[in-house]
Amino acid sequence: MTVPKGDYFQRQGDPDAEEKAQGQIAGLLENWRTTMANRSGVMSREDGSDLRGDELRTPELNNSRRSAETQGQPLEFSTVPDQADHAIVAFHNLMNGLDAMMINDARDELLLHLTAEFVMIRALIEAATTALWLLGPQDSDTRVARALRLRNDELIHSLHLAKNYSTFAGTLGGEEYRAQERFVKAQITDLETVAADAKVPWSTVKKSLTQSAIANEGGAFVPELGGPLTYWYWSTASSLAHGEPSNLRGLSDMKLIGVDHRNRPVAHVEPSAVSIYRHLKVALQLISKAHQLWNDRARGHN
């Protein structure tokens, strides 16, 4: 596959380009609202579909097979449709927030903050590429393994969060932390049981994940973008969202730097209407493909 090169250096647009980009941003937001207006919000799947088959491979564990600590709260978000649906819904919730931030109530005025938008756009790209990463593979084994792997990564993060908080608060030896640790570890044990039932090796499930890998691998399912360019847009949006050191040296002339997986600079991106438009357009391309993949996977086979 030929990878699109894209515009790797996005300088501040000239006044005409900036004005045009503002209209293009407003157009993207209006098109999104129109497209979503008639949606019920229900992400269904038919019997006999790929998603139903994936779902049946990782059913909720019976009480008798759950850990003692999870009897009252079974493992959640461990199926392919649950994880993909969550990512898609998160995308559109974020879009509602971005739309409200950028368009006034009368919908006749656009307000750009230049950097705040990238906090939302980074999250949009993350949500969309997560859905693509889950739904894109042709084989059920890979889709199911990815859903389990994503859930394990979330549980490990939860465990680290509880441990770090308790360490900082000086309560690491307290019963509250120990109870949380037992509960999360029990969820991981239950996840291992689910993985075994689905015939997914635990060594695959427990592999660590990075958002950069998800951006690259998820973006690969959008031919007009490809994985590397999707990763690049995610990285540059992250640079702006985080307000990296170059941001602090002169707010009147910000030049943010995107980095590759080796943490080497790959591009300068300046906050501008042109840059916001390009990044938002990519996010919407990604979610459009995610919806297409969901529909394909949710359709029953005759």
What is the structure's pLDDT at 50? Answer: 96
* pLDDT tens digits for range 159-191: 898 888 888 888 777 788 888 888 999 999 999
Triad 31, 37, 43: Cα angle to 5°: 110
- Name 258's bridge partners: 267
Q: Is 285 among the domain residues?
A: yes
C-alpha closest to that of 91 among 244, 294, 300, 271 = 294
**Separation CA 282–CA 28 (nearest Å):** 11
C-alpha closest to that of 133 among 118, 153, 113, 115 = 153
Write out the H or E segment, with its range, that includes residue 171.
none
Which residues form the domain of 75? 15-35+42-298
What is the structure's pLDDT at 104? Answer: 86
What is the structure's pLDDT at 174? Answer: 77
What is the structure's pLDDT at 264? Answer: 58
Q: Is 248 among the domain residues?
A: yes
Average pLDDT of each block of 10 consecutive residues along the chain (302 residues)?
A: 38 74 93 82 83 95 92 90 96 95 88 87 98 98 98 94 84 81 92 97 96 96 94 88 55 48 57 88 97 94 72
Given the structure tokens 């998603």, which residue do they identify? 51
Q: Is 6 among the domain residues?
A: no
Its pTM surpasses 0.85: yes
Q: Is 10 among the domain residues?
A: no
Q: Is 1 among the domain residues?
A: no
Q: Is 5 among the domain residues?
A: no
Q: Is 128 among the domain residues?
A: yes
In Å, what is the CA distance from 134 to each residue of 6, 119, 205, 211? 25, 23, 14, 13
Q: From the CB of residue 131, how many other CB atoms can be counted at a distance below 10 Å? A: 28
**Separation CA 244–CA 83 (nearest Å):** 31
What is the DSSP pairing of strand 265-269 with strand 256-259?
Answer: antiparallel
What is the structure's pLDDT at 169? Answer: 80
How many structural domains does the chain have?
1
Q: Is 125 among the domain residues?
A: yes
Residue 285 one-letter amino acid: Q
What is the structure's pLDDT at 5? Answer: 39
Q: From the CB of residue 280, how many other CB atoms can be counted at a distance below 10 Å? A: 26
